[in-house]
Amino acid sequence: MLNIVNLQTMKLRLPPMAMYIHIPWCSRKCPYCDFNSHERVKKIPEKKYVEALIADIKNDLHLVQGRKLSSLFFGGGTPSLFTGSSISEVIQSAEKMIGFNDDVEITLEANPESVNPQKLKDFYQAGINRISIGVQTFSDEQLSLIGRTHSSYSAIKAVEMAKIAGFKKINIDLMHGLKGQNVSGALNDLQCAISTGVEHISWYQLTIEKNTMFFSNPPKLPDSQLISEIQEHGAQLLQSHGYEQYEISAFARPRKHCTHNQNYWQFGDYIGIGAGAHGKITLNNEQTIVRTLRTRQPNNYLETKNKGEKKCISVEISQRPLEFMMNVLRLKDGVPMKYFSERTGLHQSYISKIIINLKEQGLMVDSEKRLLTTPLGFRFLDTILDRFV
């Protein structure tokens, strides 16, 4: 437990700045999805939505505080439902108003059924330099069970088309722990992903979340022992093919990590634009940290008279250690120790007793320069995080 008496605060330093762009529409709502996504029932008001996104950028310029963007991420929903010209307009506006780092990473999420060779070429020419393809599984039977509208063939074809379009950075999203799935089935999904030659694979467990169709009518999922076996054998398979696990659910070839997600996990800053988008901002002048949230419903978002409106919630000092640790300890290599003070505004002594105790229990590495877990601590991350509540 944290002792919040006699806090010793320090000066917050501005971390890197990124931008998340939310496009909330999908062709069909998946039964497991608890994201802010809305099934398209008529034509998407694409032009009007792009105008609102650009208005969000203008209204948030004061939050940039002299920084350029290290990454942009178009998430959803299904951003690949939009045209390349719309995506280009948002990118160009962000570059003109804020500016990009020389090595800026710009990712777009895409579903296999929503892309074709020309559309992928348009996205690449628009400035997208990393594409994340939502495959989830290469089993046609499993795809049907989880409500996906593409086939395993179209998933493989989407990766091939992305390569032809010019993409050098391609991620495949996969889930494990599906209904009726055994170790062999999960490993087959991974083997199919590996065979495509992509540089990055996001591999995460299906969980039943509130406000989803699966929550109302849950499928019978594998038990915890089987999940552990799947995770153990899957990690070994990926490692044997040159993919290093650098985060709980992320595996990549050397130097092919996702810059945008790493910024989240390193407790960096990001502007969130679009319906339901979240942001996290360090305010240098006020020496505080705020979380931002925009209106979730697309129609309400578009009808808002003063575009750029959002809720701002201050991250209280007592909350910062837990929020920081929840992110940075997801990284297998952790972060420099100095990040704690620089990005929470708290002296290291605030958590020193807890860290010492965790080291004594073999859950964290005995290092004065980095905050990171041992392999045992990485497996039982929730146990570690409970100490910072």
So what's the pLDDT on residue 309? 79
Q: How many CB atoms lie within 10 A of CB 351?
A: 20
As beta bridge partners, residue 133 has 110, 172
If one compares 305 and 261, the residue with the highest pLDDT of the two is 261
**Check whether domain 319-389 has CATH 1.10.10.10, yes or no:** yes
**Average of per-residue pLDDT across 294-302:** 92
Give the rounded percent of residues in the chain with a pLDDT score beyond 90: 92
- What type of residue is 103? D
Of 194, 261, 199, 265, the C-alpha closest to 234 is 194
So what's the pLDDT on residue 362? 97
The pLDDT tens digits for 51-108 are 999 999 999 999 999 999 999 999 999 999 999 999 999 999 999 999 999 999 999 9
Q: Are 34 and 227 in contact (CB under 8 A)?
A: no
- In the predicted model, is pLDDT for residue 207 greater than 90? yes
Alpha carbon of residue 194 to chain centroid = 21
- What type of residue is 48? K
Q: Are 208 and 214 in contact (CB under 8 A)?
A: yes
Q: Are 332 and 245 in contact (CB under 8 A)?
A: yes
**Average of per-residue pLDDT across 287-291:** 96
Relative to beta strand 100-110, strand 130-136 is parallel
Identify the weakest region by mean pLDDT among 32-36, 234-238, 342-346, 373-377: 32-36
* Sequential DSSP letters for 236-268: HHHHHTT-EEEETTEEESTT---HHHHHHHTT-
What dihedral angle (degrees, nearest 10) is formed by the CA atoms of 222, 223, 224, 229?
Answer: -60
* 313 band by pLDDT with thresholds 50, 70 and 90: very high
Lookup: tokens for 263: 């910024």
Q: How many CB atoms lie within 10 A of CB 297?
A: 13
Q: Are 291 and 278 in contact (CB under 8 A)?
A: yes
Q: Report the alpha-carbon distance of residue 125 to residue 348 in Å, rounded.
A: 46
- In the predicted model, is pLDDT for residue 127 greater than 90? yes
* 136 band by pLDDT with thresholds 50, 70 and 90: very high
* 387 band by pLDDT with thresholds 50, 70 and 90: very high
**Average of per-residue pLDDT across 1-30:** 84
* 41 band by pLDDT with thresholds 50, 70 and 90: confident
Q: Report the alpha-carbon distance of residue 204 to residue 256 in Å, rounded.
A: 18
Taking CA atoms, 33 is separated from 100, 133, 227, in Å, by 32, 16, 20
- In the predicted model, is pLDDT for residue 322 greater than 90? yes
Lookup: tokens for 125: 């020419």
The pLDDT tens digits for 170-198 are 999 999 999 999 999 999 999 999 999 99
So what's the pLDDT on residue 308? 66
So what's the pLDDT on residue 221? 95
* 336 band by pLDDT with thresholds 50, 70 and 90: very high
**Check whether domain 17-263 has CATH 3.90.550.10, yes or no:** no
- In the predicted model, is pLDDT for residue 306 greater than 70? no
DSSP state of 167: -
So what's the pLDDT on residue 2? 59
Q: Report the alpha-carbon distance of residue 316 to residue 348 in Å, rounded.
A: 17
The pLDDT tens digits for 243-265 are 999 999 999 999 999 999 999 99
What are the sequence ranges of the domains in the chain?
17-263, 319-389
Taking CA atoms, 95 is separated from 91, 98, 101, 307, in Å, by 6, 5, 10, 20
So what's the pLDDT on residue 143? 96
So what's the pLDDT on residue 304? 76
Burial pattern 106-133, b for ≥16 Cβ within 10 A else e, equals bbbbbbbbbbeeebbbbbbebbbbbbbb
- In the predicted model, is pLDDT for residue 10 greater than 90? no
Report the chain's mean pLDDT, rounded to a whole number: 95
Q: Report the alpha-carbon distance of residue 363 to residue 355 in Å, rounded.
A: 9
**Average of per-residue pLDDT across 22-30:** 94
Q: Are 276 and 294 in contact (CB under 8 A)?
A: yes
The pLDDT tens digits for 346-374 are 999 999 999 999 999 999 999 989 999 99
Of 306, 49, 218, 108, the C-alpha closest to 40 is 49
- In the predicted model, is pLDDT for residue 305 greater than 70? no
Of 109, 168, 156, 154, the C-alpha closest to 134 is 109
